[in-house]
Amino acid sequence: MSVLVVGSVGYDTVSTPVASGKDLLGGSATYFSLSASRFTEVSLVAVVGKDFREAHLKLLGDHKVDTSGLEVAEGKTFRWSGRYRHEDVNSRDTLDTQLNVFAGFKPKLRPEHRRKDYLFLANIDPVLQMEVLGQMERRPKLVGMDTMNFWIEGKRDALAKVIGSVDVVFMDEGEVRSYARESNLVKAARAIMGQGPKTVVAKRGEHGVLLVTKDSVFAAPAFPLDTVVDPTGAGDTFAGGFMGYLASTGNLSHRGFRRATVLGSVMGSFVVESLSADRLLSLDYDALQSRFRAFTALTSFEELKAGEGLPWRGRNGRFEKGTK
């Protein structure tokens, strides 16, 4: 199975406590594609300007991303610039967003793209997200979406329509709270689910992710790293691993979603080790396997066996249950 993604492709100017760079290859759909393409076929729908470098087009092709839906339009490529704070690498300030060619973009899906079973509406104008969803020949098996404050604040109504039409919503925890206007994260996620989606993935930066469904909550930590060079794209890379795994295996069960969450977290832990998507480009199978195993070890603990109890000392000071 393969995934279709619509989102931004652009150039980022980034400054973090340990690194900085200008006009780095970025964009939500770029990170998503480079991550998902390790697990399944990916087709990208986006627009770039005439200034988009040939080398970057080649790079996407070299990583087996289908760029036949990447339009090159008259004008300048999307640009975003952000700065991460020294005291808290989790929080960033957007310094500038220039939509450029995205402002007039009207996606027109190729016939073969309209039949994809997995669709990811990466962070971009919700009007574009809806246009892409509306052009699908049939409802895909799974539709995921991501967004950010820029659209929550600027295009709330259009965003609500998209949210009401998808299966899985990925958002930063602050965005979950701000969109739902509810400070408790689980309640906020459930309020979003009340609008249609069956699953909300709340991304919590260095605190990991929370996967919330109607009757369960699954938590995955972020993989502990010595150095985070550049957190940009971690969320999109997470979503790429998550959707890529589901599309590759077709396992849409509870367990499949949990494994997808861990694989997404593992992919996210790689991308933050370098500026732009560089670490994704050099990633190999052995590194992925070994970090997935290390992640499993990180979160594994002894469960209670049938009939086994925890030690419990009652108010009378006596041990009443379990082992002592």
**Which residues of this protein are in contact with ligand AMP, per CB under 6 A?**
8, 10, 12, 26-28, 80, 97, 123-124, 148, 150, 232-236
For ligand AMP, which is the closer residue by CB, 124 or 247? 124
Size (the chain), residues: 324
For ligand AMP, which is the closer residue by CB, 16 or 248? 16
Shortest separation between residue 149's beta carbon and ligand AMP, angstroms: 9
How many angstroms separate the CA atoms of 36 and 20, rounded? 26
Shortest separation between residue 94's beta carbon and ligand AMP, angstroms: 6
How many angstroms separate the CA atoms of 67 and 299, rounded? 37
Shortest separation between residue 215's beta carbon and ligand AMP, angstroms: 28
For ligand AMP, which is the closer residue by CB, 8 or 33? 8
For ligand AMP, which is the closer residue by CB, 66 or 236? 236
Strands 118-121 and 142-146: parallel
Look up residue 79 and give its two tokens.
């640009």
From first CA to last CA, the distance across the chain in angstroms is: 52
Look up residue 46 and give its two tokens.
């986006």
For ligand AMP, which is the closer residue by CB, 33 or 43? 33
Shortest separation between residue 40's beta carbon and ligand AMP, angstroms: 20
Residues 6+ apart with CB under 8 A from 201: 168, 169, 170, 171, 209, 210, 211, 212, 238, 239, 242, 261
For ligand AMP, which is the closer residue by CB, 233 or 244? 233
For ligand AMP, which is the closer residue by CB, 91 or 296? 91
Rg (CA), the chain: 20
How many angstroms separate the CA atoms of 70 and 299, rounded? 39
For ligand AMP, which is the closer residue by CB, 96 or 303? 96
Shortest separation between residue 136's beta carbon and ligand AMP, angstroms: 21
Is residue 6 within 8 Å of residue 27, measured between CB atoms? no
DSSP state string for 31-96: HHHHHHTTTSEEEEEEEEETTS-HHHHHHHHHTTEEEEEEEEESSPPEEEEEEE-SS-TT-EEEEE
Shortest separation between residue 114's beta carbon and ligand AMP, angstroms: 23
Q: Which of 161, 171, 112, 174 is nearest to 133 (CA)?
A: 161
Shortest separation between residue 298's beta carbon and ligand AMP, angstroms: 22
Shortest separation between residue 156's beta carbon and ligand AMP, angstroms: 14
